[in-house]
């Protein structure tokens, strides 16, 4: 191997390490994007891989239902606030680096996002559902106001902690449609709180006071499907706490129905000390052996950012399109030429997409309860208060905040100029 090739390999390995990818994953990402872009018409690659004609036909048929353009729109919407590689790698890892299986899983996820209208669910938000004619908006917001579910605190590895309190739930109080909409909405809210590639969700299910009337089989299975198929590699742990005797019968039926990966991440706890292994006590409530006195005081959002400035939204969507075109071009160049420059340029563009996405997000996501109480800031920081009525919050996510990402972009620009390397130039101010 000549010195230039050796230097290129070392640069690519260092870049992969910085992004949390090993060399094999970087190569797998390249194959993933080549395959997906071929299916969506974003490059000139054949939509078939050798020996995979049947699978290609199957994926073509799935995509034909809504069309390549619609799937491409769903892809870039899905990655508004995340590096596309960070989204893709979760599907790759979930399917053990088998490209065809990972791409199929991703395409089916995009199909679900289109058919469940996830982007519209996010755009409507709590206020939109409350005011939608013919829809039981009160039942939708009841999922929050009842206290049956909320996000509060961070786990010891840094991911958000989501609480489920089944004793406050009865399947008869909302339709299956409302429940499915809410589950998709809650999953999208959780994504906001995952502050890096390694950040995963810890779910605490407190079964104190649980009875058979609180069991909602359809909701549980839809939640399981979302975790397994549509938000892979997003779950760190499910802690089932205070399970009563009656739950034993439920578990005998439910356990074998769960996805094996989800099932393997479930821990039953009786002692609060068992929970402390995963979540610091300052984030836990007193009934869980913690010191937090925070209480959920839900009030629906009173503003709709979507309606503030449609002209600005149009401008931001045009900016997004420009960044996506450049990202696709750099990805195709990387796929075809394996240049470190293209790899680094993709990362540079992904950083710009993150900053631009933070500007765009309020125009495509209605204000959530978490935004309203200060848990989500416009610059991308997320945080929680630990005391009842306390305004101060402990915020995380600084490396992906607008300010620090902009600093990184400027550092990369300076390096490009020093090394006399061409880099992507955009026609607007971030």
Tell me the DSSP string of 310-360: HHHHHHHHHHHHHHHHHHHHHHHHHHHH--HHHHHHHHHHHHHHHHHHHHH
Per-residue pLDDT tens for 369-424? Answer: 999 989 999 999 999 999 887 777 889 999 999 999 999 999 999 999 998 888 88
211 pLDDT above the threshold of 90 = yes
DSSP assigned state of 228: I
Rounded-to-integer distance, Cα 389 and Cα 294, Å: 7
pLDDT, averaged across the chain:
89
Strands 149-154, 160-164: parallel, antiparallel or unpaired by DSSP?
antiparallel
Domain map (residue ranges) of the chain: 19-115, 135-288, 305-365+397-430
Given a cut of 60, is residue 125 above it in pLDDT?
yes
Q: CA 127, CA 83: separation in Å to the nearest integer?
A: 29
Q: What is the mean pLDDT of residues 15-24?
A: 63
Say yes or no to pLDDT of 333 above 80: yes
Q: Which CATH superfamily is domain 135-288 in?
A: CRAL-TRIO lipid binding domain (3.40.525.10)
pLDDT at 8 over 60: no
Residue 17 has pLDDT above 90, yes or no: no
235 class by beta-carbon count within 10 Å (0-12 exposed, 13-18 middle, 19+ buried): buried
* pTM, to two decimals: 0.91
What was the pLDDT predicted at 277? 93
Strands 394-396 and 382-384: antiparallel
178, 179, 182, 187 alpha-carbon torsion, rounded to 10°: -150
Q: State the pLDDT at residue 172.
A: 92
**DSSP for residue 376:** B
Two tokens, residue 182: 């809410």
Higher pLDDT, 93 or 18: 93
Query: Which stretch of 38-52, 93-107, 137-151, 300-314 has the lowest confidence by average pLDDT?
Result: 38-52
Which of residues 261 and 49 earns the better pLDDT score? 261
């Amino acid at each position: 191997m000549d010195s230039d090739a050796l230097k290129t390999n070392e640069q690519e390995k260092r870049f992969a390490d910085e992004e949390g990818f090993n060399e094999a994953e970087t190569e797998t990402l390249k194959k993933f994007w080549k395959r997906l872009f071929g299916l969506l018409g974003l490059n000139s690659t054949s939509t078939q891989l050798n020996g995979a004609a049947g699978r290609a036909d199957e994926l073509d048929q799935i995509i034909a239902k809504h069309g390549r353009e619609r799937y491409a729109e769903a892809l870039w919407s899905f990655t508004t606030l995340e590096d596309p590689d960070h989204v893709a790698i979760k599907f790759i890892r979930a399917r053990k680096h088998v490209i065809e299986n990972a791409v199929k899983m991703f395409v089916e996820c995009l199909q679900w996002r289109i058919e469940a209208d996830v982007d519209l669910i996010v755009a409507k938000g709590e206020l939109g559902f409350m005011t939608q004619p013919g829809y039981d908006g009160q039942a939708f917001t009841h999922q929050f106001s009842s206290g049956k579910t909320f996000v509060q605190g961070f786990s010891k590895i840094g991911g958000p902690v989501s609480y489920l309190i089944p004793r406050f739930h009865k399947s008869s109080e909302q339709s299956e449609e409302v429940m499915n909409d809410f589950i998709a909405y809650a999953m999208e809210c959780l994504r906001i709180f995952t502050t890096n590639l390694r950040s995963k969700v810890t779910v605490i299910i407190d079964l104190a006071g649980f009875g058979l009337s609180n069991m909602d089989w359809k909701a549980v299975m839809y939640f399981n499907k979302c975790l397994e198929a549509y938000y892979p590699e997003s779950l760190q742990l499910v802690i089932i706490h205070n399970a009563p005797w009656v739950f034993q019968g439920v578990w005998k039926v439910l356990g074998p129905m769960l996805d094996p990966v989800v099932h393997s991440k479930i821990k039953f706890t009786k002692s609060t000390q068992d929970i402390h292994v995963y979540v610091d006590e300052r984030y836990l409530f007193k009934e869980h052996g913690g010191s937090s006195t925070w209480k959920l005081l839900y009030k629906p959002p009173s503003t709709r950012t979507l309606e503030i400035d449609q002209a600005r939204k149009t401008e931001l969507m045009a900016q997004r399109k420009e960044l996506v075109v450049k990202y696709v071009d750099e990805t195709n160049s990387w796929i075809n030429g394996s240049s470190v420059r293209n790899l680094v340029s993709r990362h540079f563009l992904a950083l710009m997409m993150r900053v631009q996405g933070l500007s765009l997000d309020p125009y495509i996501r209605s204000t959530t309860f978490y935004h309203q109480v200060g848990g989500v800031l416009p610059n991308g920081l997320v945080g929680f208060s630990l005391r009842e009525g306390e305004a101060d919050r402990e915020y995380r996510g600084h490396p992906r905040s607008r300010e620090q990402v902009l600093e990184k972009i400027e550092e990369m620009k300076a390096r490009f100029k020093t090394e006399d390397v061409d880099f992507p130039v955009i026609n607007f101010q971030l």
